[in-house]
């Protein structure tokens, strides 16, 4: 601690250079934190998904609806344990940027299919009794401060009601929670309420969720479902949840590889930048370091001063960058209503980031620190 | 009187290019405690090399260097650093203060190597700055001080750990006459009133006149008189 004024003085020696280096490290670690948060978020979504549930979509495209009649035909298959069609009312709640999506489903089947979704049976029964009732994810309800009995208006983007209005009202009958609390962020409504209330698209579903009895046969059941509609005008494509999300992600590319490649390139560049800055800083201070040695500072102490200087800059800037990423990432990267919660930075990413910053400091600081250690006092003082 | 500095058969060589140049030849020197010795001589004669050996900044290639009772040629790098911190105060021609630290922080630097508390360090710093007449400039950075004042700060830094020996390399070489006299008077007071042993390298005979003994270094040898060139 007593050497801190010396280290601080060294950092203040070229303020502009220190600030610019600090900012470049902040930026790099912000990127590191944000990208690793996305990676971690995708991993947690993938963990949540499983192969015992299938998603049935229109073969034409993801957004193309299918007849609701498909649901009953799928339900008749002996391998199927539960089925629900999905109708969607996307809209906003109170503020234009507060996007909320009400999913019209068969609530009973939904909770049967998703054992990781927990609901009070009485609240589920209440929701089933009243068609305008909804069950709201606890994370969303906590965020909005909603209570049971509240009536929530959702101003739809495009799903108009039979009376021409775009305003849908839902009565909160209860809440559901999930093992991963942040995932409990949907509004689950009764399909019939949305289906009967909407002016167009009646008896259509955008997706069908299918629970199957034996997950090891998911591929065969998926094929069987698609075969059911092979000769219909609304052919289907069926995948288990995990394959479904993977196929979407594959369209974007190997996100994990891209993220790691970008982070690696940034850190590699940063290593050169920091090493160059530290080398320059030590080169300029050769006479001062020689004076410290003259006054009795050992080779090891001088080396330690240079290394700690690098550590302070890198770790402090890294912590700031990671801190900004931890705050900003969940605000920017979230898909409300799609079952994908805000992507929070896991603690391990923060710790990994700090460790990376420390390694960066040691690797970039070691050559100049070694130079400071090996400095011959008499030669340095005479300018040799 | 006890000898603070004893050099026997000291040889120092440097490698310059492909040549090995002997800078000091079998040199002997004894400096008693309380002496104020001026080392004079032309540029390149080996004065600073000799001073560096006495101050523990460099090692001889041959011979023995004993300062403050310690054989410096036998000490390791770490031991030598600790020895310097305890026994020698250095004053340089160009002050060599740390530019971003205030005067008081500069003076405090050697005390960072001791176990003194912050309060004790501050107290000692104030005493040292008062001794050199700069207590009122404690918060000033070196760039805000004149050359003479900077050299006073350097002297305060050299004295702060109460060293056995004060080693000064051209301490007035960068100062005007008035400032130089101030510094030399200060060194004289330190020698006479505090009994500090001082070894000073200088080109200036007026500066050397403040010393109690003068020696001349010429071509790597010590003499009592300057070598006279034939007319």
Kindly report, residue by residue over B57-108, the tens digit of the pLDDT. Answer: 999 999 999 999 899 989 988 899 999 999 999 998 888 899 889 999 999 9
Using pLDDT thresholds of 50, 70 and 90, give the confidence band for residue B132: confident
The answer to the question of residue B107 being in a domain is: yes
Task: Look at residue A336 in the predicted model and tell me its pLDDT.
Answer: 46
Indicate yes or no: CB of B113 within 8 angstroms of CB of A296. yes
The domain tally of chain B equals: 1
Q: What's the rounded mean pLDDT across residues B185-200?
A: 91
> What are the backbone angles phi and psi of residue A301, rounded to the nearest 5°?
-65, -40
What residues in A contact B77, CB-CB < 8 Å? 298-299
What CATH number is attached to the domain comprising B146? Answer: 3.40.50.300
Q: What's the rounded mean pLDDT across residues A298-325?
A: 93
Using pLDDT thresholds of 50, 70 and 90, give the confidence band for residue B34: very high
Three-point CA angle A277, A283, A284, nearest 5°: 90
State chain A's mean pLDDT as an integer. 87
The answer to the question of residue B205 being in a domain is: yes
Which residues 266-305 on chain A approach chain B with CB closer than 8 angstroms?
A: 287-288, 291-300
Searching chain B, which residue's CA lies closest to the CA of residue A289?
B98
Q: Which residue matches tokens 């890198």?
A: A314
Q: What's the rounded mean pLDDT across residues A291-298?
A: 92
The answer to the question of residue B11 being in a domain is: no
Q: Which residue matches tokens 């002016």?
A: A199
DSSP state for residue B114 in the 8-state scheme: S
The answer to the question of residue B94 being in a domain is: yes
Least confident of A141-150, A338-347, B69-78: A338-347
Which residues 118-157 on chain A approach chain B with CB closer than 8 angstroms?
A: none
Using pLDDT thresholds of 50, 70 and 90, give the confidence band for residue B131: confident
Q: What's the rounded mean pLDDT across residues A194-212?
A: 93
> Could you tell me the residue ranges of all domains in chain A?
4-46+253-381, 60-234
Q: Which two three-digit tokens encode residue B228?
A: 């006279």
Task: Look at residue A342 in the predicted model and tell me its pLDDT.
Answer: 62
Report the distance separating Cα B140 and Cα A208, nearest Å.
77
Indicate yes or no: CB of A295 within 8 angstroms of CB of B48. no
Using pLDDT thresholds of 50, 70 and 90, give the confidence band for residue A181: confident
CA A43 to chain centre: 9
Residue ranges of E strands in chain B? 3-16, 19-32, 36-40, 62-67, 70-71, 88-91, 165-169, 197-201, 213-218, 221-223
Where is pLDDT greater, at A340 or B182? B182
- Buried-exposed string A270-292: b where 16+ CB fall within 10 A, e elsewhere: bbebbbebbeebbeebbbbbbbb
Of residues B176, B174, B201, B31, the one with CA closest to residue B187 = B201
Whether the per-residue pLDDT at A218 is higher than 70: the answer is yes
What residues in B contact A13, CB-CB < 8 Å? 99-100
Kindly report, residue by residue over B16-30, the tens digit of the pLDDT. Answer: 888 888 889 989 999
Using pLDDT thresholds of 50, 70 and 90, give the confidence band for residue A356: very high
State chain B's mean pLDDT as an integer. 89
Structural domain for B176, as ranges: 35-60+75-223
Whether the per-residue pLDDT at B162 is higher than 70: the answer is yes
Whether the per-residue pLDDT at B231 is higher than 60: the answer is no
What residues in A contact B48, CB-CB < 8 Å? 382
The answer to the question of residue B18 being in a domain is: no
User: What pTM did the predictor assign?
Assistant: 0.69
Instruction: Give me the DSSP letters along A331-369.
Output: HHS-BTTTTB---PPPHHHHHHHHHHHHHHHHHHHHHHH
Using pLDDT thresholds of 50, 70 and 90, give the confidence band for residue A278: confident
Distance from CA of B81 to the nearest CA of A (A): 4
Indicate yes or no: CB of B90 within 8 angstroms of CB of A378. no
The answer to the question of residue B175 being in a domain is: yes
Whether the per-residue pLDDT at A77 is higher than 90: the answer is yes
Searching chain A, which residue's CA lies closest to the CA of residue B118?
A2
Of chain B, the percentage scoring pLDDT greater than 70 comes to 97
Searching chain B, which residue's CA lies closest to the CA of residue A299?
B78
Indicate yes or no: CB of B101 within 8 angstroms of CB of A5. yes
Least confident of A250-264, B43-57, B159-173: A250-264
Indicate yes or no: CB of B82 within 8 angstroms of CB of A296. yes
Indicate yes or no: CB of B109 within 8 angstroms of CB of A295. yes
Using pLDDT thresholds of 50, 70 and 90, give the confidence band for residue A38: confident
The answer to the question of residue B27 being in a domain is: no
Task: Look at residue A338 in the predicted model and tell me its pLDDT.
Answer: 47
Three-point CA angle A193, A196, A200, nearest 5°: 125
Using pLDDT thresholds of 50, 70 and 90, give the confidence band for residue A323: very high
Q: What's the rounded mean pLDDT across residues A308-333?
A: 89
Q: Does A49 touch chain B (CB under 8 A)?
A: no
Searching chain B, which residue's CA lies closest to the CA of residue A290?
B96
Task: Look at residue A97 in the predicted model and tell me its pLDDT.
Answer: 83
């Amino acid at each position: 601690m007593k050497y801190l004024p010396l280290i601080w003085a060294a950092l203040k020696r070229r303020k502009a250079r220190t600030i610019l280096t600090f900012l470049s490290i902040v930026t790099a670690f912000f990127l590191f934190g944000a990208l690793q948060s996305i990676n971690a978020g995708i991993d947690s979504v993938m963990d949540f998904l499983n192969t015992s549930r299938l998603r049935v979509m229109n073969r034409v495209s993801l957004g193309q609806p299918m007849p609701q009649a498909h649901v009953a035909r799928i339900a008749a298959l002996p391998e199927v344990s539960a089925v629900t069609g999905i109708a969607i009312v996307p809209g906003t709640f109170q503020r234009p940027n507060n996007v909320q999506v009400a999913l019209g489903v068969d609530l009973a089947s939904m909770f049967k299919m998703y054992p990781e979704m927990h609901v009070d049976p009485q609240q589920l029964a209440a929701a089933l009794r009243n068609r305008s009732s909804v069950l709201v994810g606890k994370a969303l309800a906590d965020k909005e401060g909603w209570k049971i009995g509240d009536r929530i208006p959702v101003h739809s983007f495009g799903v108009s009601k039979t009376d021409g209005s775009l305003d849908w009202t839902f009565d909160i009958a209860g809440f559901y929670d999930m093992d991963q609390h942040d995932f409990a962020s949907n509004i689950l409504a009764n399909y019939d309420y949305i289906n009967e209330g909407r002016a167009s698209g009646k008896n259509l579903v955008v997706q069908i969720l299918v629970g199957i009895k034996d997950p090891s046969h998911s591929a065969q059941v998926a094929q069987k479902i698609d075969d059911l509609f092979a000769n219909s005008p609304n052919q289907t494509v069926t995948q288990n949840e995990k394959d479904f999300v993977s196929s979407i992600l594959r369209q974007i590319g190997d996100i994990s590889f891209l993220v790691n490649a970008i982070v690696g390139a940034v850190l590699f560049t940063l290593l050169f930048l920091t090493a160059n800055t530290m080398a320059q800083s030590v080169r300029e201070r050769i006479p001062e370091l020689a004076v410290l040695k003259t006054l009795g500072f050992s080779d090891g102490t001088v080396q330690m001063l240079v290394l700690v200087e690098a550590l302070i800059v890198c770790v402090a800037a890294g912590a700031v960058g990671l801190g900004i990423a931890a705050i900003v990432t969940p605000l920017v990267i979230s898909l409300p209503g799609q079952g994908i919660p805000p992507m929070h930075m896991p603690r391990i990413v923060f710790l990994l980031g700090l460790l990376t910053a420390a390694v960066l400091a040691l690797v970039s600081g070691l050559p100049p620190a070694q130079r400071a250690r090996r400095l011959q006092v008499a030669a340095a003082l005479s300018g040799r | 009187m006890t000898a603070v500095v004893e050099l026997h058969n000291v040889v120092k060589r440097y490698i310059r290019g492909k040549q090995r140049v002997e800078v000091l030849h079998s040199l002997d020197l004894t400096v008693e405690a309380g002496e104020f010795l001026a080392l004079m001589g032309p540029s390149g004669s080996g004065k600073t090399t000799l001073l560096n050996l006495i101050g523990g900044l460099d090692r001889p290639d041959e011979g023995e260097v004993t300062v403050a009772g310690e054989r410096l040629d036998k000490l390791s790098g770490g031991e030598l650093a600790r020895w310097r911190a305890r026994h020698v105060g250095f004053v340089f021609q160009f002050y060599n203060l740390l530019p971003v630290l205030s005067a008081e922080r500069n003076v405090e630097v050697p005390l960072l190597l001791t176990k003194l508390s912050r309060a004790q360090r501050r107290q000692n710093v104030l005493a040292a700055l008062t001794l050199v007449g700069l207590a009122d400039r404690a918060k000033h950075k070196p760039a805000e001080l004149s050359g003479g004042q900077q050299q006073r700060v350097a002297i305060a830094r050299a004295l702060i750990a109460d060293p056995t020996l004060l080693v000064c390399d051209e301490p007035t070489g960068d100062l005007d006459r008035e400032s130089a006299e101030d510094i030399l008077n200060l060194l004289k007071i330190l020698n006479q009133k505090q009994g500090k042993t001082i070894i000073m390298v200088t080109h200036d005979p007026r500066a050397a006149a403040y010393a109690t003994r003068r020696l001349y270094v010429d071509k790597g040898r010590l003499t009592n008189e300057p070598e006279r060139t034939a007319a």
